[in-house]
Structure 1
């Protein structure tokens, strides 16, 4: 008769347990410009869906504190000739940036402080 005694160790799970550090490193690597999630997952013996799930958890703060990563937004480039004429002439060196996001519109004239711009974009895209 095959009985399992209460002191016997349970059968090992076939699932691989990955450390939090490993998940964080792989997610950070997936945010690099030009990174392929499928290739990265394949190189580490993962299913790409697992890496997408870790990225989702990371963004929600479930894999520890979220460190700043490049913020990528869709961009529409408008031809200067097609843009409406301004009432006041602007020097050629002036820069202007307009973003229309779900939570609001951001218009920047001149050269903003990069840290301030990053914080504003994080709030508007969160």
Structure 2
């Protein structure tokens, strides 16, 4: 039979940090992927030489084959033209304005032309994150 002795309390705890994650630029990723195709069994050698895991390098190679490791995925700037909204011409007597909110609704419309006949009109109060997601989806089509 063994005697059960209470475990001593930990008096010191050492935390070992692995450091911050490395951020690889697109050019570095493309260079490393190209280097890994240089000969047989170069994936592990290339990964070791550049300080990354082989699984990460295989992921980059797969993305490159699928065309997803290119600069095309970066958001692009497009020209914007701001034009005033012309008031409709009416021959009849002017109608009284319905409300202040109706007047505000006519002002502040943003029109975004994506090309290929695709045009998006949004109000000035549009949620920026929602608009970004919609434009991203339309740009992919």
Do they fold alike, i.e. is TM over 0.5?
no
User: Which TM class, normalised by the smaller chain length?
Assistant: 0.3 to 0.5
TM-score (norm: length of structure 1): 0.38
Larger relative CO (CA 8 A, sep 6+): 1 or 2?
1
Whose radius of gyration is greater, 1 or 2?
A: 2
TM-score (norm 2): 0.35
